[in-house]
Amino acid sequence: MPHSTRWSSAAAGARDTLPMLIGAAPFGMIFGTLVASGPLAAWQGQLMSMSVYAGSSQFIAVGLVAGHTGMLVIWLTTLIVNLRHMLYAATLLPQVAHLPGRWRFTLGFLLTDETFAVMNGYYRQHPGAPLGHWYFLGSGLSMYVNWQVWTLAGLLFGAAFPGLQSLGLDFAMVATFIAIVVPQLSRLPHAGAALAAGAFAFLLRDLPYKLGLLSAVLAGVAVGITLTRWRQQGGIGERGRA
């Protein structure tokens, strides 16, 4: 049942996000290591984690910066990769639409793949929970602090362990994403988005500059949002609402 106070609700959100924190830790440390061995200064890498706060986009941006790619290309590429958050936002919006703008802005900034997985499960069990936004805040803040700590660890110790990114630690994040995605496939918009993205990624895998992957992201987001709107308008029966 939902918690009775703001702080107990926030603490519960942080606690329930703990498995995601563990999965993201190696990913954050590898990012810091890549920055330490690349053209960016350490403070720039930490600032990116603090202000951008999007792991996949940060990895892509660091790689593009190292390749002396133009700023416009970096901006467009990271924008496309992050478009999946539109689907997350569309899913959670009914639960937070009543909140003041400062709350929606804060929670929107803290929304990541991991936090979405936690919050989507929470709101499905407790729709309309009066303190759900505090649970959301606890989950989001714990992920944010976790990402900053492990980025800093990678920046500080990356030079001492230059081969860290080759040890296979990044599979922890792959396993985390599998844990995030699979439970969501019971819902039609998410299943449709996953199928569309997977199909496009496979069919366009030979395109240069990762254009196949970017196309897959766009296709998945488009299909997911379309199915979400169709469901909200009553275009799908109860069986499709599972």
pLDDT at 165: 57
Q: What is the pLDDT of residue 221?
A: 81
Position 22 in a domain: yes
**Domain end (from 145, 177, 209):** 177
Locate tokens 């929470």: which residue? 122
According to the model, what pLDDT value does residue 163 have?
62
90 with 160, same domain?
yes
Whether residue 95 has pLDDT greater than 90: yes
Tell me the per-residue pLDDT of 29-64, one tens digit each, with 9 for 90 and over.
888 988 988 889 999 999 999 999 998 889 888 888
| Residues spanned by the domain of 222 | 185-242
Q: What is the mean pLDDT of residues 143-159?
A: 91
Rg of the chain over Cα atoms, rounded to whole angstroms, equals 19
Same domain for 13 and 33?
yes
- Does residue 168 share a domain with residue 53? yes
Whether 235 and 138 share a structural domain: no
Structural domains in the chain (count):
2
Residue 27 has pLDDT above 70, yes or no: yes
Structural domain includes residue 1: no
Q: Which one of 177, 204, 224 terminates a domain?
A: 177
103-107, 170-174, 177-181: the lowest-pLDDT one: 170-174
211, HSE (Cβ side, Cα atoms, 13 Å): 6
> Are 151 and 171 part of one and the same domain?
yes
pLDDT at 23: 82
pLDDT at 119: 94
Position 143: which residue type?
M
Distance (Å, whole) CA 112 – CA 177: 11
Same domain, 24 and 101: yes
- 161 and 234 both lie in a single domain: no
**Res. 100 pLDDT band, cuts 50 70 90:** very high
> Would residue 19 count as lying in a domain?
yes
